[in-house]
Amino acid sequence: MKLIVGLGNPGRFYSANRHNIGFICLSHIARQYGISFSKKQAKARTGSGNIDGIGVLLAKPQTFMNLSGQSVRLLMNKLKLKPDDLIIIHDDLDLPLGKVRIRQGGSSGGHKGLNSIIRETGSRDFIRVRFGIGRPYGEFSSADEKNEAVVDYVLTDFSNEEKKAVKPSIALVGNIISCLLNEGLEATMSRFN
């Protein structure tokens, strides 16, 4: 069993935000494999099923981004999973819009959802599927102004032009998940990074 978690914020207000690309990708994967988010457990909406014959639990934490680790820890404990059974799909400011990268371990890179998961699970060794959303443009006079611009940026919806640009990458994440499950991390990184 693999636990695949998309990061985002619950509720319609946030549903099309850049910060919710993890939820958006997970919804695409669920549709692709006929999995519905029919259960509420461990502070998450979940759906179980098979991807290419491999059992998976898809989860969208309902704790809001900065507390995602609470849900992830509860699900991992319930399913008795190790960190390498966990795949997190999340937004990444440091990658250009639509660029997707796979890695295992490492720091959170300042991502508060990842910080929460690392803190709650006590591990950095899970697989991350990083989805580039780019950074806000402009000159900032202070660190506070820059941080405020970043928060506003990630909590804003994709523009119509950006939606078109990321659509192929959302489908690509589905292929990456299939490859991770069937061929493993090294083969997937070699093929998609």
Q: What is the DSSP string of 167-180?
A: HHHHHHHHHHHHHH
Say how far apart CA 88 and CA 124 lie, in whole Å.
11
pLDDT tens-place string over residues 80-137: 999 999 999 999 999 999 999 999 999 999 999 999 999 999 999 999 999 999 998 7
Give residue 86's pLDDT: 98
Q: Given the DSSP bridges, would you call strands 2-6 and 54-61 parallel, antiparallel or unpaired?
A: parallel
What is the per-residue pLDDT across 128-186, written as a single tens digit (0 to 9) for each?
Answer: 999 999 998 777 788 899 889 999 999 999 999 999 999 999 999 999 999 999 999 99
Is residue 178 classed exposed, middle or buried when 0-12, 13-18 and 19+ CB atoms within 10 A define those classes? middle
| CATH architecture for segment(s) 2-192 | 3-Layer(aba) Sandwich (3.40)
> Which is catalytic among the residues 19, 28, 90, 111?
19
What are the tens digits of pLDDT across the range 22-79? Answer: 999 999 999 999 999 999 999 999 999 999 999 999 999 999 999 999 999 999 999 9
90 in active site: no
- Whole-structure pTM over 0.85, yes or no? yes
Q: Where are the domains of the chain?
A: 2-192
- E-strand stretches of 36-134: 39-41, 44-51, 54-61, 86-92, 100-104, 127-132
